[in-house]
Amino acid sequence: MEGEKKHFVLVHGAAHGAWCWYKLIPLLKSSGHRVTALDLGASGADPNRLDEIVTISDYARPLMEFMASLPEDDDDGKVILVGHSFGGYVISMAMERFPEKVLVAVFVTAEMPNLVEPPATLMIEDLELAKLMIRPFKFFLGDMSKESLLSEAQYGSVKRVYIVCKDDVLTKQEFQERIIKSYPPDEVKYIEGADHMAMLSKPKVLYQCLLEVADEDWQSCDAQLQKEGGSAE
């Protein structure tokens, strides 16, 4: 409900780590929200080596284990997943496996798979970003070229918000709009002047966007849709 404090789970993009959220975390906490920022496999401070991360499932394991640790059937304990860039694929996996534990998913200039195409169909290999990688990274193109394993009943049941970063030169705005058109989310927000790393270039604006997401009554929206037998599409 509006005004209640939420639990944000922040998922970084390729070659980054939990550290990239360092400006955003204290802002969310200052509003009383709980925040968890994870290092994915062979990323950030994660102890695994890249050669030990063979599949996208290996890479996503820290998030999956965290989601599995959350209590079952606890509406008040549902989390807000926030995925940046390649992290959009990772939170999509968590949405498919644990839809009952996710209040809403937020994609920040992120890949947001649809239910039809293989994830790699909309993938960009961020070559400029690769030059700046803190740790080496795999794009798991073999895994991502397979048919979509996401379902309407699981992944499709979770509310989605997409945040467009209008000055992103890696995932350009027209590509972000293409992602949105491919599988329209429940809401779209825009950040003027934000580059690919909005959490660093526009942390206060991103923070305000996330506060707006947190204040929306997503559970009442779900209940109303179930009562009407409709969908948000």
What string of pLDDT tens digits covers the 233 residues of the chain?
456 899 999 999 988 999 999 999 999 999 999 999 999 987 878 778 877 888 888 999 999 999 999 998 888 899 999 999 999 999 999 999 999 999 999 999 999 999 887 766 555 444 444 445 544 545 554 554 455 678 999 999 999 999 999 999 988 999 999 999 999 999 999 999 999 999 999 999 999 999 999 999 987 655 444 444 444 33
> Does 2 reside within a domain?
no
The answer to whether position 148 is within a domain reads yes
H helix or E strand, kind and range, residue 187? strand 187-191
Domain count, the chain: 1
46, 126, 143, 168: the active-site residue: 168
Q: What is the pLDDT of residue 154?
A: 96
Active-site residue identified among 12, 43, 85, 126: 85
CATH code for the domain of 88: 3.40.50.1820
Has residue 1 been placed in a domain? no
Q: Is residue 58 part of a domain?
A: yes
pLDDT at 223: 47
> What is the pLDDT at residue 225?
43
* Domain presence at residue 233: no
pLDDT attached to residue 47: 76
Active site residue 12: no
Of the candidates 208, 215, 212, which has an alpha carbon nearest to the alpha carbon of residue 27? Answer: 208
Q: Which residues pair with 36 in a beta bridge?
A: 9
Question: Measuring CA to CA, how many Å separate 73 from each of 36, 56, 61, 91, 154?
Answer: 20, 27, 22, 20, 15
Active site residue 58: no
In this prediction the pTM is 0.86
Q: Is 92 a catalytic residue?
A: no
Domain membership of residue 203 (yes or no) is yes
- pLDDT score of 70: 97
Domain range for 209 is: 7-228
Q: In what order do the strands lie in the sheet with 160-165?
A: 34-38, 7-11, 79-84, 102-108, 160-165, 187-191
Active-site residue identified among 7, 16, 84, 196: 196
CB atoms within 10 A of CB 120: 18
